[in-house]
Amino acid sequence: MDILVCFSTCPDASTAERIARTLVESRLAACVNLLPGVRSIYRWEGAVASEAEVLMMIKTTTAQLPALRAHLVALHPYAVPELIALQAADGLPAYLQWIADAVASGGPP
């Protein structure tokens, strides 16, 4: 199984929830955890910025990443949304299988 954990930030909880629900309903993610209270400090357009954000932790598969990427860009309000995908090196086999099944077409909900 090629399981990924992807990270993306949103400007607020309602945006994060809307994107997360769409990704799960579209079977592009098995689960999205929303972590409020994130403070991001970054360089943008030549200046250092500091903003409160909500971090989305998205569980999916390598096969679904291209479609997830396209959906995220289409749904996200940022000009350049964050999307970083990390390979899950290991985990509880039943949980990893659940992720794979949840995003596969025809798999369990």
**pLDDT tens, position by position, 26-79:** 999 999 999 999 999 999 999 999 999 999 999 999 999 999 999 999 999 999
pLDDT in tens, 8-32: 999 999 999 999 999 999 999 999 9
Contacts of 64 (CB under 8 A, 6+ apart): 27, 28, 29, 103
Which of 66, 55, 6, 53 minimizes the C-alpha distance to 30? 6
Q: Which tokens go with 103?
A: 């995003």
Q: How many CA atoms lie within 13 A of 50 on its CB side?
A: 1
Q: Which tokens go with 99?
A: 């992720």
- Name residue 79's beta-bridge partners: none
Place of tokens 């985990």: 91
Q: Residue 41, Cα to own-chain centre: how many angstroms?
A: 20
pTM of structure: 0.93
